[in-house]
Structure 1
Amino acid sequence: MLQELAIHDFAIIEDLNVEFEAGMTVLTGETGAGKSIIIDAVGLLAGGRGSQEFIRTGASKAVLQGQFHLPAAAPTFALLDQYGIAYADQDVLLQRELHRNGRNVCRVNGQLVNTLTLKEIGETIVDIHGQNEHQELMHPEKHLALLDEFAHHEIVPLRTQYQTAYQHYKKLHQTYEKRLANEKEWAQRLDMLRFQVKEIETAQLQPDEVHQLTEEKLQLSNFQRINQALATSYAAISEGETAPLDQIGRAMNELQQIADLAPAYRTLSESVQSAYYTLQDAASDILQQADLLEWDENRLDEIEKRLEMIHQLQRKYGDSEAQILAYGQKIKRELTEMENTESNAADLADQVAAAREQALTSGQKLSQKRQTAAQQLVQAIHQQLKDLYMAKTVFSVHFKTTGTPHFFETGLDEVEFYIQTNPGETAKPLAKTASGGELSRIMLALKTIFMRSQGITSIIFDEVDTGVSGRVAQAIADKISGIARFSQVLCITHLPQVAAMSDHHFFIQKQVVQQRTRTSLKVLKTPERIDELARMLSGTTVTKLTREHAHELLVLAKSEKKRLAAKQPSSK
């Protein structure tokens, strides 16, 4: 339920903070006082379309906040978990800012969200119904979901079973259709994949192979230069009567004889000794490298051919050995899938037929359950319409049939609610029902049926009672009061019968203060309620008689609520 609403610089409202209670709350006041503006604010908090026109003249932004307290099992919390939004104590805070520059800032429990997410979450909390506003019940494409929700426990398992079978059939059918429509392309793709996989596997590429081959090629291409350099270097170090290695060796021996005479001599001896052994090791390494040198003209040719082959693969499949190998794995998987399909081509049509039959059987079971649920829904709606003085109205659930079954994500059915308001007339789609009074009562009947299953905790009626009076007005008041026993109801009304049935009454008025129009809201106690009901009954002139009538309305409303409570105990 909506616990608190804060509005700042929104339309003609400068600052407004109001706390709401459970049960039925009515908002009354003169036309243009700002009743619908409050409903607009709640609608924006629930993800409705925003506009700069909502921002109060002279303000840079409009700020809206709504604090909601929800039952532990409310579907809202599953969405909050899905979007990673933290919550505590079953409270949800919705916030929205509309800026002059067009920026739209939305938050849920302090976390930034986009307007689509806000709308998705808001729709599980608040349900707003206006006189001419076509919500779920006025959209034929949503009627099937409402029917399923009516018989939730029986239908959901069957629908899940159907959807599993349907997805399997759909996947097989798509594969089969693709195969038939692209037989030539399929064969060409299969041949190309086989060639590419074979070409890459035959190459037997190794990671970093190009780098290693390039280094080896460099060695072979410079064989003479390397060989000459090694031989000359070794000769210069180790050969001849004045070979540097022998000369340094003699110096090392001489210095070793005086190394113990002074630290400086020892340091010199160690330095020359280190140089001698380093040069000796270098000479040995040079000789070893020279011995390892081997000229192989055929190997150089092999390397050049190998590098050219790899470069050809790089031009076709990737810039590196790793990319080529990764591409090879990818097409190998595709080839395996296609070859499996190829090998099962003779059975594919049979598989599609079997999967279709399974989906059809599951869909027919689901349809039968929906037909049964539809009959139960019709009976429930007729009882509601009877309470609303529409006993002769015929409500029906129309299943569209075309002879050949059509598979949809939701089943085999297309459903639309129909209504026949007068005997002898043709039943018409509910969405095309024209009378405002009839539409109000039909909507209330449906809302009474669905209110518990939908899990909505706050329902707003914006002048849905327009166009009715007398006993019909009282019936609507009773029905709204009945809905309020399961969900919080906020109701804008001009009917005194509806206002009298409320648990809480707010009076909205606008005043001009310092040449600016401001809207204010006041909680009415019993004496003030009598005055407001008298005004609603008589208009501008309130007389003693109208006050007495207003008082009588409150007394009768109190008695009527007791009767309704005894007839149907509250679930709150």
Structure 2
Amino acid sequence: MLEELEIRNLGPIRHANLGFGTGMTAITGETGAGKSMLLDAIRLISGASVQTGRTDTASADIWAQGIFHVEQDCTASSIAQSAGVELEDGELFLTRSLPSHKRSRAILNGHTVPRSLLHDVGSELVTIHGQADQMRLASSARQRDMLDRYAHNEQIRGEYAARWRALQQLDERLNTLNRQQSSAQDRADYLRASIAAIDDASPHTGELEELKSRRERIENLAAITQGVNKALAALDASQIDVEEDQSDAVTKIHDAVRALEDIGVPAVFGESITRLESVDEELADIVFSLAGQLDSNDEDGDLDVINGRIHTLNGLVQRWGPDVEHVLQWRDKAQLELEDVEASPEHVAALRLQRIELLHEVGESAVRLSKSRSSAAKKLGAQVSSELDSLAMQGSCLDVQVTSRFDASTVASLESARSDTADGASSQIDVDERLLDSHGCDDIEFLFTPFPGSARLPMGKSASGGELSRLMLALELSMAEREAGHDTSASAVEQGMVFIFDEVDAGVGGKAAVELGRRLAILSRNAQVIVVTHLAQVASWAQTQFTVSKRTVESASDGAGGSHIETVVNRVEGDSRQHEIARMLAGSESATSLRHAHELLNASRM
């Protein structure tokens, strides 16, 4: 619901602040007073690209803000929150600023946002039915949306949309696989050759490091042998072929033990003898280990063979490394991929069969959706035509035409197939997918006949601005009645929708004007209604009324003593409202017009 609208420097309006309530609000005033500027302000905060006059305000910044009370889970709130804008005490502030020498700014709850976001939020809060705005319903998409709302076919549409999305996703998978198939053979050949190369080499984890260590030993064999021999000669000369008088560590330790034993005082030298014997045992272990090194040097193998194996393993690592372990891991993954590539023709065939079945299901849902629309179209057309009779448009009618792109035989076959499936049977019908889109298989058109004998013409091409406004009122009334009868929880007032009507009273007078006002008041039971009108019979039905008027203001800023025209907006209540209704009735505020105004206001109370 629109709670407040504030405007600054919009055309001749220097400043205006309008507080709105529930129900119906009338905006009245003399022709040319600037009532249209209020609609321009609402279009501005709704994100529209509006060319507004800047008469007398060329150097000032235009600014407009609307404060809306919304439900936490309504569509407008969801759009705002998905963009990172949170509600403030259940309110949305839609602000538009048009600086005189800068680009316009769109602001939502204090956050600068793209104008498109303001438009998305505003379109969920405000519906303007003016001569220019009604051309939106000339589009087939908006007519389809309105018919679906009237049909309450959310479940069928949801089923169709889910199947349609599944079909699109399946098509994407098939397209990807088809593209892959063109290079699948090359990929398969590469994988087979790579796996064979790895299998032929048959590497094992750690092998490359072992081989490099062996090669290093062989390349340094001479130095190793010489060093080990010297060490053995120093420790135990008996292990190698040296002269017998070679002095070594083992011999000297043995000599030391015998010398201490020959003293014959074990109480004094027994510990030293024991320690020397322990050293002798440790030396024996070292000598044994070094002697083994000399033996292994003869078994390290052919250096050329080792280098060849290292070269083979390095080749594998360079292609699929960084080490032998990763090469083996790549080989296992390649085997799995090869199995997938080789199985892809069968996989594609299975998906194509699945697509045939899914397309058949999409066709079934499309037929069900079409039937729901056709049934609702007859009821909507009849109800709107009845409303038009009440709005001084006798003989006018609306025909809602739903044309299925499927021929009768396809529809009958799909309906029969659905019945067979429910009975446990199964059959497939060829469905021409070119006849489908994301919304079904229907072409929808609202055809309006403005007077008896006139040809049925598309909406927007067959009526004046006033007739179109009343047609839109009849549509909204029919929609509101349908909503109230189906589920009051989904009513427009709870969704926060604001309906604005401009020129709805063009060419209407007398009893028809009274009925027009009454019908607007009925609509305001389920939604907030704002109507710009010059008819007292319409304005009298409103709970709230604002007048728009001009006044002359002396310009003293330049000292020249000039003047300029400003537009002011005032709320009228009580006697002030009775005087305004009297002025609208007779152009004056005589006793007779005031009495008539009083009677009209009393008669308009619901």
Same fold (TM over 0.5): yes
- Secondary structure at the aligned position of 1:519 is classed as strand
- For structure 2, list consecutive stretches of 5 or more residues without a partner in the other structure: 236-248, 250-285, 408-431, 484-490, 556-562
The answer to whether 1:552 aligns with 2:587 is: no
- Secondary structure at the aligned position of 1:395 is classed as strand
Shift, 1:509, TM fit: 2.9
Q: 1:370 aligns with which of 366, 370, 373?
A: 373
Q: How does 1:121-140 map to 2 (within 5 A)?
A: 121-134=121-134, 136-140=136-140
The answer to whether 1:435 aligns with 2:439 is: no
Shift, 1:234, TM fit: 8.6
User: Per the alignment, do residues 201 and 229 of structure 1 end up closer, same or farther by CA in structure 2, a change over 3 Å counting?
Assistant: same
One-letter amino acid of the counterpart of residue 471, structure 1: K
User: Per the alignment, do residues 392 and 233 of structure 1 end up closer, same or farther by CA in structure 2, a change over 3 Å counting?
Assistant: farther
Which residue of structure 2 lines up, in the alignment, with residue 390 of structure 1?
A: 393
User: Per the alignment, do residues 436 and 128 of structure 1 end up closer, same or farther by CA in structure 2, a change over 3 Å counting?
Assistant: closer
Q: 1:436 and 1:486 mapped to 2: Cα distance? A: 25
Which residue of structure 1 lines up, in the alignment, with residue 549 of structure 2?
A: 509
The answer to whether 1:190 aligns with 2:197 is: no
TM-score, length basis structure 2:
0.69
After superposition, the CA RMSD in angstroms is 4.5
TM-score, length basis structure 1:
0.73
Q: 1:200 and 1:538 mapped to 2: Cα distance? A: 98
Shift, 1:227, TM fit: 6.4
Q: 1:69 and 1:551 mapped to 2: Cα distance? A: 38
One-letter amino acid of the counterpart of residue 57, structure 1: A
The answer to whether 1:40 aligns with 2:43 is: no
Which residue of structure 2 lines up, in the alignment, with residue 423 of structure 1?
A: 452
- For structure 1, list consecutive stretches of 5 or more residues without a partner in the other structure: 247-282, 563-572
Q: 1:350 and 1:469 mapped to 2: Cα distance? A: 65
Q: 2:505 aligns with which of 465, 469, 480?
A: 465
Shift, 1:344, TM fit: 5.9
- Secondary structure at the aligned position of 2:604 is classed as helix
Q: 2:327 and 2:539 mapped to 1: Cα distance? A: 74
Q: 1:111 and 1:129 mapped to 2: Cα distance? A: 29
The answer to whether 1:159 aligns with 2:157 is: yes
Q: Does the Cα contact within 8 Å between 1:11 and 1:54 map onto a contact in 2?
A: yes
Q: 1:218 and 1:124 mapped to 2: Cα distance? A: 74
Q: 2:543 and 2:351 mapped to 1: Cα distance? A: 66
Q: 1:500 aligns with which of 540, 562, 580?
A: 540
Q: 2:387 and 2:507 mapped to 1: Cα distance? A: 19
Q: Does the Cα contact within 8 Å between 2:370 and 2:404 map onto a contact in 1?
A: no
Q: Does the Cα contact within 8 Å between 1:197 and 1:332 map onto a contact in 2?
A: no
- Secondary structure at the aligned position of 1:431 is classed as coil
Shift, 1:149, TM fit: 0.6
Q: 1:369 and 1:487 mapped to 2: Cα distance? A: 26
User: Per the alignment, do residues 394 and 321 of structure 1 end up closer, same or farther by CA in structure 2, a change over 3 Å counting?
Assistant: farther
Q: 1:62 and 1:554 mapped to 2: Cα distance? A: 39
Most deviating of 224-233 and 552-561: 224-233
Q: Does the Cα contact within 8 Å between 1:141 and 1:416 map onto a contact in 2?
A: no
Q: How does 1:133-532 map to 2 (within 5 A)?
A: 133-134=133-134, 136-152=136-152, 155-172=153-170, 187-198=181-192, 296-312=303-319, 336=340, 339-343=343-347, 345=349, 350-404=353-407, 406-451=435-480, 453-454=491-492, 455-511=495-551, 512-514=553-555, 518-532=566-580
One-letter amino acid of the counterpart of residue 431, structure 1: G
Shift, 1:134, TM fit: 2.4
Shift, 1:363, TM fit: 1.9
- Secondary structure at the aligned position of 1:400 is classed as strand
User: Per the alignment, do residues 231 and 83 of structure 1 end up closer, same or farther by CA in structure 2, a change over 3 Å counting?
Assistant: farther
Q: Does the Cα contact within 8 Å between 2:62 and 2:97 map onto a contact in 1?
A: yes
Shift, 1:526, TM fit: 3.5
Q: 2:572 and 2:146 mapped to 1: Cα distance? A: 38
Deviations 1:454-492, CA, capped at 9 Å, x for gaps = 534322223333343333333322222222222222222
Which residue of structure 1 lines up, in the alignment, with residue 59 of structure 2?
A: 58
Q: Does the Cα contact within 8 Å between 2:27 and 2:533 map onto a contact in 1?
A: yes
Q: 1:464 and 1:19 mapped to 2: Cα distance? A: 23
Deviations 1:146-184, CA, capped at 9 Å, x for gaps = 1111122xx1112222233334445556767888xx6xx
Q: Does the Cα contact within 8 Å between 1:220 and 1:300 map onto a contact in 2?
A: no
- Secondary structure at the aligned position of 1:432 is classed as coil
Q: Does the Cα contact within 8 Å between 1:500 and 1:554 map onto a contact in 2?
A: no
User: Per the alignment, do residues 125 and 188 of structure 1 end up closer, same or farther by CA in structure 2, a change over 3 Å counting?
Assistant: closer
Q: Does the Cα contact within 8 Å between 1:106 and 1:113 map onto a contact in 2?
A: yes
- Secondary structure at the aligned position of 1:501 is classed as coil
Q: 1:309 and 1:100 mapped to 2: Cα distance? A: 71
Q: 1:413 and 1:459 mapped to 2: Cα distance? A: 28
User: Per the alignment, do residues 224 and 81 of structure 1 end up closer, same or farther by CA in structure 2, a change over 3 Å counting?
Assistant: same
Q: 1:231 and 1:365 mapped to 2: Cα distance? A: 93
Which residue of structure 2 lines up, in the alignment, with residue 260 of structure 1?
A: none
Deviations 1:306-330, CA, capped at 9 Å, x for gaps = 434454569xxx9x99899899969
Q: Does the Cα contact within 8 Å between 1:457 and 1:488 map onto a contact in 2?
A: yes
One-letter amino acid of the counterpart of residue 39, structure 1: L
Q: 2:342 and 2:452 mapped to 1: Cα distance? A: 62
Shift, 1:67, TM fit: 1.7
Q: 2:466 and 2:331 mapped to 1: Cα distance? A: 68
Which residue of structure 2 lines up, in the alignment, with residue 561 of structure 1?
A: 605
Deviations 1:61-92, CA, capped at 9 Å, x for gaps = 44433221235664333434444433354322
Q: 2:77 and 2:342 mapped to 1: Cα distance? A: 44
Q: 1:108 and 1:326 mapped to 2: Cα distance? A: 54
- How many corresponding residue pairs? 505
Deviations 1:484-534, CA, capped at 9 Å, x for gaps = 222222222222322232222212234435256543321123333344334
Shift, 1:435, TM fit: 2.2
Q: 1:503 and 1:477 mapped to 2: Cα distance? A: 12
Q: Does the Cα contact within 8 Å between 1:94 and 1:109 map onto a contact in 2?
A: yes
